């Protein structure tokens, strides 16, 4: 994000609300297929990068 000069607000159109963007960036929530498609189409982020598996943060209940 920093390299391209994007802010969290720039991601809201692809990911949803400000809270959703925060959850995704802090790895509390995974990207959906729809989000991946929007990020690819609207921001030009390669889908191959977005579909890579990553660990999400587990919160205690």
Give the domain ranges of the chain: 8-50
Tens-binned pLDDT, residue by residue, of the chain (61 aa): 888 888 888 899 899 999 999 999 999 999 999 999 999 998 899 999 999 988 877 765 5
3-state helix, strand, coil in the chain (%, to 5): 50, 0, 50
Is the C-alpha dihedral spanning 4, 52, 46, 40 positive or negative? negative
Beta strand residue intervals within 1-61, DSSP E: none
pLDDT on residue 1: 81
Q: What's the pLDDT at 35?
A: 95
Output the pLDDT for position 60.
Answer: 58
Q: How far apart are CA 49 and CA 18, in angstroms?
A: 22
pTM of the model: 0.78
Position 61 scores a pLDDT of 56
């Amino acid at each position: 994000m920093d390299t391209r000069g994007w802010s969290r607000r720039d991601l809201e159109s692809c990911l949803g609300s400000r809270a959703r963007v925060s959850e995704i960036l802090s790895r509390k929530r995974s990207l959906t297929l729809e989000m991946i498609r929007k990020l690819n189409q609207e921001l030009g982020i390669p889908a191959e990068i977005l579909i890579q598996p990553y660990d999400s943060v587990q919160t205690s209940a």
